[in-house]
Amino acid sequence: MPFMNSPAPPPARARRSTQPRRTRQGCRYDQRPSEYRSVDTGASGAAMSLVDTDAYRIQMCILISVSDRTLGVGWEPRRGASMTEAPVGTSSPRSRENTRARLMAAASEVFAESGLDGASVEAISERAGFTRGAFYSNFATKEELFAGMMQRVSEQKLERVSSRIRELEDEGAAQASPADIVMRVLDLEGEDRAGIVLMSEIRTNAMRDRRLASAYLEWQEAMVGRVTGIIADLATRYGLRLRLPAADAARMLIQNWDSAAVHAVIADLDADATLRLVAERTAMLASAIADGPID
């Protein structure tokens, strides 16, 4: 019969799925988290592609484990780079601290230019000369970085005051009024404008972010404790009588210092003029909270 000699029909072509591709982590490939995109760009040349394969997960594990072994710095392959370009080294507390210091220094510059909200992890890392991986191997979040910077700025300020007090020890406990003592203790180099702006922005953001608020309050109490010790030491050394507990005096002096410093920035005063204003207002407050010297 004629139909018996007809050619066989071609095999059915497999239908291509219309479903979006998904990674092995279960998310759509075109919507995968940004932290995964930087590592699944594939190796150059004849090296195997890392896109959506078992090697994808393996490399992520390597990235996480390497971040604590390479000079305290995490790494991420550059676009088009192979895994063999990963840095090799050993970490040490000193190198890790150096990395954190460089990140905080870079963050200070970026914050001063863009504010806390406008400062991205990418911008901070790039300014410091590191990758995003380096940032996240040292700070879990930007809030943690903010807390570290608060401590850094306040420690530098208190160390300057403490160093000045030690210098005055050689002069002996001369008779002086509370205002004179404050002016002598705060006879320092000019106040840092960037530090004032940073602390003001952190305080503003702490009113909107409860995690940052917790870190700020903890830092504030630590500051009060340090300043309380300085006040008690000065009262003993110069024979002063406080009109209120040292801790309450410390809180008032810290708030007065911050208020004067912010006013100086708004008024566009230079570093030396800013410090003079802070010292003068602090001296006036010191006269109100302490009597002395005791005869």
- What pLDDT was estimated at residue 67? 35
Q: What values do phi and psi take at 156, rounded to 5?
A: -65, -40
Contacts of 77 (CB under 8 A, 6+ apart): 38, 39, 41, 83, 85, 86
Average pLDDT over residues 213-230: 90
Is the backbone peptide bond immediately before 20 cis, with ω within 30 degrees of 0?
A: no
pLDDT tens digits, residue range 27-81? 444 444 444 444 333 333 333 333 333 333 333 333 333 333 333 333 333 333 3
pLDDT tens digits, residue range 46-61? 333 333 333 333 333 3
User: Which own/partner contact pairs does 45-52 have at CB distance under 8 Å and 24+ positions apart?
Assistant: 45/82, 47/82, 52/21, 52/22, 52/23, 52/24
Same domain, 163 and 287: yes
Average pLDDT, the chain: 73
User: What are the distances in angstroms from CA 230 to CA 28, 150, 187, 235?
Assistant: 58, 20, 16, 9
> CATH number for the domain including 147?
1.10.357
pLDDT above 60 for 86: no
Residue 157 counted as domain residue: yes
User: What are the distances in angstroms from CA 172 to CA 175, 193, 233, 287?
Assistant: 9, 33, 13, 21
User: Which residues sit opposite 290 in a β-bridge?
Assistant: 242
Residue 64 counted as domain residue: no
Residue 37 counted as domain residue: no
Same domain, 129 and 147: no
- What pLDDT was estimated at residue 8? 59
Residue 183 counted as domain residue: yes
Give the total residue count for the chain.
295
Same domain, 107 and 149: no
- What pLDDT was estimated at residue 91? 54
Residue with the bigger pLDDT between 295 and 112: it is: 112
Residue with the bigger pLDDT between 136 and 18: it is: 136
Same domain, 241 and 131: no
pLDDT above 90 for 266: yes
pLDDT above 70 for 89: no
Q: How many structural domains comprise the chain?
A: 2
Parent domain of 123: 94-139
HSE-CB of 136 using CA atoms within 13 angstroms: 13
Q: What values do phi and psi take at 190, rounded to 5?
A: -55, 155
Same domain, 135 and 232: no
Short-list 185, 163, 153, CA closest to 279: 185
- What pLDDT was estimated at residue 241? 92
HSE-CB of 99 using CA atoms within 13 angstroms: 25
Same domain, 206 and 108: no
- What pLDDT was estimated at residue 197? 85
- The fraction of the chain above a pLDDT of 90, given in percent, is 27
Same domain, 146 and 277: yes
Same domain, 253 and 154: yes
> CATH number for the domain including 108?
1.10.10.60
pLDDT tens digits, residue range 159-212? 888 888 888 776 665 667 888 888 888 776 667 788 888 888 888 888 988 888
